A = this chain, B = another copy of it.
């Protein structure tokens, strides 16, 4: 059993969640290679120290030093979106494989730079669209790719959060576009990744954005909020399907309610994250006496991404998506392929950028090829 040593850049929620995943993946799904965190970096020495202690790894305050450690094989980037590309480029230059949290970048240019860097360096690369590794969403993708739902005609995705509802939340990096990215980039990227994965390329978008709380307090006085509170978009897929996408951080009492539905010529499938162990599916050719949708408990051994998890009915949580991601990476690297990688990550950024531009220019935008 070989080890791949991981350096985690960023000790926030995502850094900690990734550490959790590396720690548990071998227990859920043993593989020949295991990922073992060895260091975590962050600017605040006290806080990164505490985080490192809880992870059982070394603390560092300079991410560049972490990236260049000889004992680091894989760099896992868990910092704010605006820093992803820079760190990825540095990691690639240091010859490290790179796992980057989503979105790959907050602009199409930065995403392209990151992609170019890993390609030039010949290192492996992955983007942390963890929801692909939830059993229910995996089953949904499987049903679509098998044709069980027929030709996909309609796709809809919404992500409703209340993160920005409170006007009293002071300005921080999340409201700074070059650091946090738009809400389209932050929440929308997950939805776009799922859409591209399940239905294929998006060719054209029409979008609109609103910022309801336009300025927020900061130690230096009020600052303009640079990102959207909410955005919505119409989508045209290359394969002929039509879609709608909506993201909002201004929906009271909606913490992270993301819903994805597809309607095909032969069936419908619906996933609602608030019930992440379930998938609703109905087919047109079923006995009309059973007219309706079935609620599949996606915990059966025959379902994807359930291997090693709990007995049917016990249910997994958010962490399972990350543990499965870590297990799939451990199984795929260093010799095999893993998706989504920077190619997919950059494609997502392209769609998000097209939405941002459409919202600004108020007309349909072709997604850059």
Question: A-side interface residues toward B, CB under 8 Å?
Answer: 1, 13, 16-17, 19-20, 23-24, 26-28, 30, 50, 53-56, 139, 149, 151, 153-154, 156, 158, 160-162, 165-167, 206-210, 212, 229-230, 232-234, 236, 240, 242-244, 246, 248, 250-257, 263-268, 273-278, 281-284, 288-297, 299-303, 310-320, 362-364
Contact = CB atoms under 8 A, between A and B. Distances in A.
Main secondary structure of the interface of A (DSSP, over half): mixed
Q: How often does this chain occur in the complex, in copies?
A: 4
A17 B265 contact: no
Given A206-B362, A273-B315, A290-B294, 12 more contacts: A20-B27, A27-B54, A162-B284, A165-B265, A209-B242, A210-B240, A212-B265, A274-B277, A275-B275, A291-B303, A315-B318, A319-B319
Nearest to A299: B255
Given A13-B311, A23-B27, A54-B27, A297 B255 contact: yes
A274 B154 contact: no
A292 B300 CA distance: 10
Contacts of A265: 165, 167, 212, 252
Contacts of A158: 156
A268 B288 contact: no
Contact of A284 (B26, B212, B253): B253
B292 A153 contact: no
Contacts of A301: 288
Given A275-B275, A302-B288, A268 B252 contact: yes
Contact of A30 (B54, B264, B294, B300): B54
B294 A210 contact: no
Nearest to A29: B54
15 contacts: A20-B24, A30-B50, A154-B250, A156-B246, A167-B265, A244-B244, A250-B263, A252-B263, A253-B292, A255-B297, A255-B312, A275-B275, A281-B290, A291-B299, A291-B303
A298 to B, nearest CB: 8
B24 A24 contact: yes
Nearest to A151: B212
